[in-house]
Structure 1
């Protein structure tokens, strides 16, 4: 394929070492034209949303938090009883796709693993790389956020693991629906709240908030994703002398925070400037420092 492409697609021949390859003896992956069709209409990722994905930020040619993303990819596969992804093959395809992509300050890579065509026994896997949209306004001006009931208790991961809370699945209909609801409420984004009243995460982000010299996030075991960007934000905060930790909070307790952010791999740190229609304080200096740090990461 042509070098320095604006869109790069790499299709894995054997996404899992636990399943047969699509073409015996072929290379681990092959580049393909992203504008052409490649996926069977019988693929369970299409017909059932039966699969997982990761979105990885790329800054100045470096995949950020790659190993953390790969670990989470494997964890999601285990939750869905998918064949375990061959992380060496995925890593190779990700890094090769980044090399093929036309250089730019910010890009992203999406990895997708589906169960494949029903009855075939071979999962489908691909890596897609492209440049990001412009998120400068969200990173500086901030986002207006509403809280919405997720409909699950905060301990759903323990009580009902079959609901796949905490797995990054392709079943994103709800995640898109809540954003449409946010727009109907004159807001930009959402923070999910558990049915028993605790702050969880955004539909595509982790929640981080500041209370004095502490940076906090709701915690683990709540049926929310293990935040890759949140972990890097904590590392940056610790380098400034902040203490970091996990704290289970209600929306009212969140409203009393000194600042809050929705953080994610591609948009990075977007400060919350309004919560449920009420103005929310923005720490512009800390926000700028966080985003500069995230953009400069080389691993």
Structure 2
């Protein structure tokens, strides 16, 4: 079941719409140019996880695009309406994927089109338990491009995801499950839909690391929640810069995202990585508690 709720000033709690019929104008700039932003978050038993973090990031993306979107309270009400409709008469149960979307709207209208979509979340239990195979793929720009060329919108979660999806198709066509982007100057960036997390233990000091955000990667909400919980549990934290060899030297590598949560990486470019079921379970528990 797919639930669709538009943010509409005439409907304070959102305007429900039939997801099975056309709902966008053909000249909406989100359709014709990919000019818009989105967020994806997980809801468990009808309760969204870390909605504030996702709404913060939605606002940051809107700022980078000079895009005026509905106020935060309107999003919160629409999310609540959509989740209530998705639960239906049976009550809120299970895991749901919540997607927030805002486009620049119909060309010339000067008003954003915004909606909340809720579907059942996919079952990622097998990947979370068994891990995934990953390829390193060149993203095509260096690690300083974000500051040098802000018009590239690096660090914004835009609707222009064709490159990200192409990277996933390439990885799967070449015997892998996912990808990790690297910069043209050899720095580790992020996955097409995820944040990279490394764990190391050196001289009794346990550290979690992630690539530095100034390299133009998206700020990871799941990674951030995990880091906060890990720091409280005694872990040290690090924020890059990282190079591919750091991945192979780590005691474990994960891809973190809102829907899949933490997925261990078992190999990169066909080269096996260390994996500890105990460490994996510990980090999954920390992330789950934090979220």
TM-score category (smaller protein) = over 0.9
What is the CA deviation profile of residues 26-58 of structure 1, one whole-angstrom value per residue up to 9, with x for unaligned ones?
435211111221111111111111100000111
What is the CA deviation profile of residues 229-278 of structure 1, one whole-angstrom value per residue up to 9, with x for unaligned ones?
00111123223321112121110122111101000000000000001111
Larger helix proportion, structure 1 or 2?
A: 2
**1:233 corresponds to which residue?**
226
RMSD: 1.5
**Distance in structure 2 (CA, Å) of the matches to 1:101 and 1:246:** 38
Match of 2:33 among 48, 61, 65: 48
**1:284 corresponds to which residue?**
277
Contiguous gaps of at least 5 residues in structure 2: none
**1:68 corresponds to which residue?**
53
Match of 2:4 among 4, 9, 20: 9
Match of 2:253 among 260, 263, 267: 260
**1:127 corresponds to which residue?**
116
**Distance in structure 1 (CA, Å) of the matches to 2:11 and 2:229:** 43
**Distance in structure 1 (CA, Å) of the matches to 2:243 and 2:12:** 51
TM-score by length of 1: 0.91
Q: How many Å apart are 1:295 and its aligned residue?
A: 4.1
| 1:91-110 equivalent positions in 2, closer than 5 A | 91-102=76-87, 103-110=92-99
What is the CA deviation profile of residues 179-214 of structure 1, one whole-angstrom value per residue up to 9, with x for unaligned ones?
111112210000000010000000000000011100
**Distance in structure 1 (CA, Å) of the matches to 2:200 and 2:255:** 15
SS at match of 2:166: helix
**Distance in structure 2 (CA, Å) of the matches to 1:199 and 1:175:** 16
SS at match of 1:27: strand
**Distance in structure 2 (CA, Å) of the matches to 1:26 and 1:69:** 23
| 1:99-248 equivalent positions in 2, closer than 5 A | 99-102=84-87, 103-212=92-201, 213-248=206-241
Match of 2:75 among 77, 87, 90: 90
Contiguous gaps of at least 5 residues in structure 1: 1-5, 15-24
Contact 2:14 2:81 in 1 (8 A): no
SS at match of 1:97: helix
TM-score by length of 2: 0.93
**Distance in structure 2 (CA, Å) of the matches to 1:219 and 1:86:** 30
SS at match of 1:153: coil
Contact 1:153 1:196 in 2 (8 A): yes
**1:270 corresponds to which residue?**
263
**Distance in structure 2 (CA, Å) of the matches to 1:282 and 1:108:** 28
Aligned residues: 283
**Distance in structure 2 (CA, Å) of the matches to 1:65 and 1:293:** 14
What is the CA deviation profile of residues 141-170 of structure 1, one whole-angstrom value per residue up to 9, with x for unaligned ones?
001011010011111110000001000000
1:38 aligns with 2:23: yes
SS at match of 1:37: coil
**Distance in structure 1 (CA, Å) of the matches to 2:209 and 2:47:** 27
Contact 1:143 1:270 in 2 (8 A): yes
